[in-house]
Amino acid sequence: MKKLLLAALVATFTLAGCSTTDLVDERAMVVEGQAVTVKVINIPSLEVEIAPRKAICEMTDSAGMKVEAECLQYRQTYQRNFNTLTGNIQGFTYEPNFRYVLDVRQEAVADTTSGVVKPVWILNKIISKTAE
């Protein structure tokens, strides 16, 4: 019984320690032309439109330096403005000059080394692919 009580006590302190880590779970994005801060959470299904051309964006390389790169442009189907996606969509292969509507899921992944929660998008299915 003492071992069980000790194990429960250790688990409680371990979980309490995990919940108080200072991970940053917010990101900035543009919604209807306004910069807003959004919380990174798990989303099981999200419909997004991928633009037929990539945009020039700024990314951080493995050495921590800012570099210019080409990024996918996306928006939710009811939005007017596109945002740049600085990562990839797992399971999706982009072809230029095609407009896509995708069903993706978002998983919030904690990067404990940087202290940031990052969204990871995973393809559920391709809803449409239209030549431009």
pLDDT at 14 over 60: no
What ranges do the domains of the chain cover? 23-131
pTM of the model: 0.67
* Per-residue pLDDT at 26: 65
Beta strands in 1-132, from DSSP E residues, in sequence order = 26-31, 34-39, 43-50, 55-60, 66-76, 83-85, 89-90, 98-111, 116-131
What average pLDDT is seen over the chain?
78
The pLDDT value given to residue 5: 35
The residue-averaged pLDDT of 91-95 equals: 96
Owner of token pair 């072809």:
95
From its phi and psi, is residue 72 left (phi > 0), alpha (psi between -120 and 50) or beta? Answer: beta
- Characterise 49 by phi-psi region: left (phi > 0), alpha (psi -120 to 50), beta (else): beta
Rounded average pLDDT over 97-114: 88
Mean pLDDT is lowest, of 4-8, 25-29, 34-38, for 4-8
Give the residue-averaged pLDDT of 31-35: 63
